[in-house]
Amino acid sequence: MSPHVPQPALPGMVTSPHPLASEAGAAVLRRGGNAIEAAVAVAATLAVVMPHFCGLGGDAVWLVADREGLRRSFLGIGQAAEVLPDFETAIPLRGPSSMLTTACAVDSWGHALAFGQQHWQGRELFSDLLAPAIALAENGYRPSRSQDFWLEFRRAEIAGWPGFASAFDYPASKGIFTQSSLAQTLRHIAEHGHRSFYEGELARRLGGAMASVGSPLTAADLRLTRTRDAEPVSQDYRGVTLLAPPPPTQGISTLMILGILSRLDLAALPPLSAARYHLLVEAVKQAFLDREHISDPDFAGGNAHGFLDPMRLEEKAQAIDRERALAWPHPYRHGDTVFFAATDEQGRCASVLQSTYFDWGSGVVVGDTGIIWQNRGAAFSVAPGHPNAIRSGKRPFYTLNPGIAFKDGSPHLLYGTQGADGQPQTLSLLLTGLLDYGMTPAQALAQPRFLLGRTFSDSHDSLKVEQSLGEYTIAELAARGHDVFSLPALSPIFGQAGIICFQEKGKIVGAHDPRGEGVAISV
């Protein structure tokens, strides 16, 4: 459509993994805010109510789009410290020595808001968008089952995590979880602006606290931290254009998987058949064989579009044996995150993932700020010459890849999921469910999941599947050579995803994952 032709108003919608966060975003839409403003309110609230998966000490990756053809990616990814220690062996997975990259989530909020003010007539005050998060940190909230699960899961380790116990007032009276130090930090940022996290008194405190625990990060590193504005990469699938953030994210892997699957007739296969799941898993393997080459383009100069060359995708599709599984010894990458999305009455969209990498990040709370810092530095390699080898100022390979799909020139789907390596795998299941089988968002999210490779809770190089796939199908997958290990239906191991779908006649439907407590709210 021409940008000069007024377009009909649409319902707004927010989806997130926590009801309080979804409500914070919905409140912004009700008072006339745009999708980016709603997403910032969600992001800040999730930083409080899901501290095990995201926070001020982490990063964020955004996709934004509208019905006028605007399509942008904001890469809120922190860079490695300027002065790095020498690593003779692998980088530690937790603790101060894993705190090697700055945190860019807060800068991404400010960057996105400025973009929304310029392009989408944004008028909301930053302080107003952070107000719900501040109130929840100060007054408390009842922890989700997910938070309780990960607190209990790591209880034995938590005793040795610096500053962790003092940052959380839990369990307090009536099971309410408060974070008074974090409330003070959020209030400071709300009053002084998003860059106060990186410049000024708070940044100096963060830098001093980093030094005191043994992290190489400094206030000077924080000052250099900036969100990158980039063009998304894209891939056509069944008449729909899928958008993903560019490297160093693994968005290109998701697009490769779908590009491979576009050459296979999935719709002819029953949705719960071993034949379908086998092709999904094998397409994942073919894409992941190239994934180690994804890295910071500022250092590697990689050609992202070469991964999506039609001849390359055709060769990978042809390499799939429809009857036999390819052996898979490749290691799994850890990671936990939150996905959320918002769309407003003008059809403007934000699809976002926010993370501190592992559950509870590095496990280190920085000084008296209440901020858990991410351990994203552990994603680097120490092998000389590796595309993702650690270097000063470099951004690590990134698992976060939110998505937006366009149909007939307008946004059609907003989607994303928690789960590191599981993100492209789950997205392949969701997107084929939606686009090949015509499922609703709720139906697509309820499909039995699969997960290839090791996870954070087991060391078995297997294909994990939910038992709801059925004994016969699981046995048939095993007969094709898959090393199958079944887990209970709706297991948290398979992450939490969300979908918003634009349908005909201005209707919008959305849902969040039945594996969690998240909700989609229509406005």
Which helix (H) or strand (E) segment holds residue 477: the answer is: helix 471-479
> Cβ neighbours of residue 510 under 8 Å, at least 6 residues apart?
13, 15, 341, 414, 441, 498, 499, 500, 501, 520, 522
Q: Where are the beta strands (DSSP E) in 197-258?
A: 228-230, 233-237, 240-244
> Cβ neighbours of residue 4 under 8 Å, at least 6 residues apart?
none
Q: Which member of 337, 399, 426, 455 is catalytic?
A: 337
Secondary structure string (H, E, C) spanning 371-414 = EEECCHHHHCECCCCCCCECCCCCCCCECCCCEEEEECCEEEEE
Which helix (H) or strand (E) segment holds residue 511: the answer is: strand 508-512
Cα 479 to Cα 108: distance, rounded to the nearest angstrom:
47
Amino acid at 318: Q
Q: Token pair of 493, please?
A: 């191991």
Across the beta sheet with 484-487, the strand order is: 450-452, 463-466, 484-487
Name the DSSP letter for residue 325. Answer: P
Across the beta sheet with 13-16, the strand order is: 228-230, 71-76, 59-65, 349-357, 336-343, 13-16, 519-522
Which of these, 400, 399, 396, 415, lies nearest to 353 by C-alpha position? 400
Q: Token pair of 269, please?
A: 């296969």
Cα 248 to Cα 231: distance, rounded to the nearest angstrom:
13
Contact 232, 77 (CB under 8 A): no
Cα 38 to Cα 395: distance, rounded to the nearest angstrom:
27
Q: Is 249 a catalytic residue?
A: no
Cα 196 to Cα 182: distance, rounded to the nearest angstrom:
15
Cα 465 to Cα 463: distance, rounded to the nearest angstrom:
6
Exposed e or buried b for every residue in 245-265, given b needs 16+ CB within 10 A? bbbbbbbbbbbbbbbbbbebe
Give the three-state DSSP class for 336: strand
Cα 473 to Cα 463: distance, rounded to the nearest angstrom:
13
Contact 494, 470 (CB under 8 A): no
Which of these, 248, 229, 152, 222, lies nearest to 371 by C-alpha position? 222
Positions marked catalytic = 337
